[in-house]
Structure 1
Amino acid sequence: MKRLLFFIVLLMAVSLSRAQSNESFAREIANYKHQDSLHFPPKNAILFVGSSSFRKWTDVQDYFPDFTVINRGFGGSQLQNVIFYANKIIYPYHPKQILIYCGDNDFAYDKTVSAETVFNRFKTLFFQIRKHLPKANIGFLAIKYSPSRERLWSKMKRTNQLAQNFLANQRNAEFIDITKGMFDKNGKVITSIYQNDMLHLNPAGYKIWQSDILPYLLK
């Protein structure tokens, strides 16, 4: 009986932790919904969704002037948070293409999480999008190798490999490797494309992403 009670309490604690994790983004998501109420984005746009690397790309539309872009990145998010809020910031827009950047926070916030676990979170999001938006193109941006998170690079590389192999066998989906141009010819990370935190990109970094993403965008 005591053992059963322990597991019940443990499950409740895990559920509470997840709820608090999602709740921490509630204000940011509410702000997006407020924007929608004032001016709802057009259908068949290109949706950028994920963590702060997208959220901080506030002028992303300027990088892709020939496309209609919706940016719904929210800072600090993990893949499970994107899954949780998909019914608010993905499905309602009926985009023709969805670009996802997320996953590095999954590793940063949980030292025990494996590459396989993060990959499976992505697959869950992928198939949920497929269910709700079967015609939408889905692009997954490789998890970048930020200098401040070098200790996590091996897990990130493994996740990228798993995602690339998976997407190679999926219809209407792509793996977009934005990492190659972020290293110099000697294989050293280019630190000048990062902000002072050595985690988030500056305009030079986003310029690299622009050139890597542009060939995949749907007209």
Structure 2
Amino acid sequence: MKKHLLIVLFAAFSACHKPQTTNLAGPWEPDYDVTRSEGAIKEFERKDAEHMPAPGGIVFTGSSSFTKWPNAVNDLAPLPIINRGFGGSTLPEVIHYSDRTITKYKPKTVVIYCENDMFGKKPKSPEQVRDAYVALVKKLREKQPDVQLYGVSLKPSPSRWAKREDVIKANKLIQDYIKKDKNHHYIDVWPVMLKNGRPDGAIFVSDSLHMNEEGYRRWTKVFRPILEKSV
């Protein structure tokens, strides 16, 4: 009887202390308000009211790796970059705001970078990240069937290196999807961000997540020749 009770107690303890994960193949629902970045979106709209970008540009959408690239327009000039990344965003948020941050500009090209989905309190599995990426693509194509898309690999960051296997798997799943999709290309930033097989600390700021000027200089070298083919 005592042995049975110990087994039950151990199982209960394990269940209570098991890290929260999500079903590999099941649907995923946000545990946060997808409108939490409304302030940032309204700031984009304020800027648009002052000067609306011309149709046919290249929209950058996604999370803070774009937000913290304030010189993207100058770094990639004369490419018509419209940077609409907003910090901390996830794919469900990008989908929610896509009409106000992407398709309203009638872009010729959209570049997608969003890496936070596997790192919140309720992380997605690599498969669910891929599914969310596909959902974004489908929504964009509903408005612009022929829009040209570029998916950027989730970058190797020192602060998130412990989950690199999940990041690598998510990248592979997204890349496999992109290969089968029309007008869709994959941009791999890993080769320019690694040193001796690990993230190069010299291109990151103190949080070991976001990049410094050297990091964006390397991204510019990767992005420019690829995006020049899209205009």
TM-score higher than 0.5 here?
yes
More helix by share: 1
1:1-219 map, 5 Å: 17-18=31-32, 21-102=33-114, 104-184=115-195, 186-217=196-227, 218-219=230-231
Mapped partners of 1:128, 1:16: distance in 2:
18
Q: After TM superposition, where is structure 1 displaced by more than 3 Å over at least 4 residues in a row?
A: 14-18
The size of the alignment, in residue pairs, is 202
**CA RMSD, Structure 1 to Structure 2 (Å):** 1.6
Displacement of 1:108 in angstroms is 1.0
Mapped partners of 1:163, 1:107: distance in 2:
14
* Unpaired segments ≥5 residues, structure 2: 1-27
Mapped partners of 1:176, 1:112: distance in 2:
24
**SS of the residue 2:223 aligns to:** helix
Q: 1:214 to 1:40 in 2, by over 3 A?
A: same
Mapped partners of 2:209, 2:158: distance in 1:
7
Mapped partners of 2:150, 2:85: distance in 1:
15
Superposed CA offset, 1:61-100 (max 9, x none): 1111121110000000000100000011011000100001
Superposed CA offset, 1:5-27 (max 9, x none): xxxxxxxxx98944xx2232010
The structure number with the bigger radius of gyration is 2
8 A contact 2:35–2:93 mirrored in 1: no
Displacement of 1:111 in angstroms is 5.0
* Identical-pair percentage: 32
Mapped partners of 1:137, 1:117: distance in 2:
23
Q: Which amino acid aligns with 2:117?
A: D
Question: Normalized against structure 2, the TM-score is what?
Answer: 0.84
Superposed CA offset, 1:96-140 (max 9, x none): 0000100x2111104542100011000000111111111211000
Question: Normalized against structure 1, the TM-score is what?
Answer: 0.88
